[in-house]
Amino acid sequence: MADLVFFSGTMDCGKSTLALQMNHNHAARGRQGIIFARHDRAGASTISSRLGLRAEAIEVTDGFDFQLYVVQLLSAGGKVDYLICDEANFYTAEQVDQLARVVDELGIDVFTFGITTDFRTRLFPGSQRLLELADRVEVLQVEALCWCGARATHNARTVGGVMVVEGPQVVVGDVAVNEDEVGYEVLCRRHHRRRLTAATARAAALSPDVLPFEQT
């Protein structure tokens, strides 16, 4: 029986790498797959991993219909065994419903990959629908780490290393960016709540306010 699976985690925990590995393993056994992505950092119609792997993908736009696309392909005599869907957090809820129908009505495996929550800890629409519909939700085993060494569970958006909490939900970007650029940093919940990034923690540690002082 086909499955709808959601592989989730923070940014930078290896989701795109796993997506490309899964595609490789299935293709190596003669299975026919299609790769989809949306807003990949490397540009449109691409799936890229920080380990250097990259592949061509079909760019999912707002109006894109997964079910229609697959049905048309099958009607034209094509073979489809599985779909790899990266950056699924950016898909619409309706598109996730279409993916569920591809699984149930066409018997095609759908493997989706994405972050669950945004920089304000709110679910992305695509991720919310996947949590509601997936047969299985798998949290990636490779742990991204907060600067304190704890498992990172949240994504912070930063400007010049300082966490920001205002702005649009979608801003494509990366971890480890240059000063002044908008970027992201993964944090444990405790430090996300306190808005304490690596840079602000470092600055606080150097501040004279926190230097040891003698009690009177």
Ligand X SMILES: Nc1ncnc2c1ncn2[C@@H]1O[C@H](COP(=O)(O)OP(=O)(O)O)[C@@H](O)[C@H]1O
Ligand Y SMILES: Cc1cn([C@H]2C[C@H](O)[C@@H](COP(=O)(O)O)O2)c(=O)[nH]c1=O
Residues 102 and 30: their CA atoms lie apart, in Å, by 20
> Using CB under 6 A as the criterion, what x/- string covers residues 81-100 for binding ligand Y?
--------------------
User: Phi, psi (5° rounding) for residue 199?
Assistant: -70, -45
CB-closest chain residue to ligand Y? 118
172 known ligand binder: yes
Applying CB under 6 A, the span of 19-27, 166-174, 197-205, 208-216 interacting with ligand Y comes to 166-174
Residue 179 designated active-site: no
Q: Choose the contact partner of 155 out of ligand Y, ligand X, none; CB within 5 to 8 A by kind.
A: ligand Y
Task: Name the nearest CA neighbour of 138 among 1, 2, 4.
Answer: 4
How many residues lie near ligand X (CB under 6 A)?
13
3-state secondary structure of 197: coil
Q: Which of 42, 68, 170, 204 binds ligand Y (CB under 6 A)?
A: 170
Distances in Å between the Cα of 133 and the Cα atoms of 64, 100, 110, 130 are 19, 7, 12, 5
* E strands in the chain: 4-9, 33-37, 46-48, 54-56, 58-59, 82-85, 109-115, 136-139, 154-159, 162-164, 182-187
Residues 117 and 125: their CA atoms lie apart, in Å, by 9
> Using CB under 6 A as the criterion, what x/- string covers residues 18-57 for binding ligand Y?
-----------------------x----------------
> Using CB under 6 A as the criterion, what x/- string covers residues 5-34 for binding ligand X?
----x-xxxxxxx-----------------
Distances in Å between the Cα of 128 and the Cα atoms of 49, 65, 115, 122, 137 are 24, 19, 10, 9, 12
Distance in Å, CB of 44 to ligand X, minimum:
17
Q: Which two tokens stand for residue 15?
A: 């989701």
Q: Which of 59, 87, 166, 185 is catalytic?
A: 87
Residues 128 and 90: their CA atoms lie apart, in Å, by 11
The yes or no reply on residue 47 touching ligand X (CB under 6 A) is no
Q: Which two tokens stand for residue 76?
A: 């034209």
Distance in Å, CB of 190 to ligand Y, minimum:
18
Where do contacts with ligand Y occur on this chain (CB under 6 A)?
A: 11-12, 15-16, 41, 115, 118-119, 155, 157, 169-173, 184
- Residues assigned a catalytic role: 87
Q: In the complex, which residues of this chain contact ligand X (CB under 6 A)?
A: 9, 11-17, 49-51, 142, 144
Binding residues for substrate: 170-173, 184
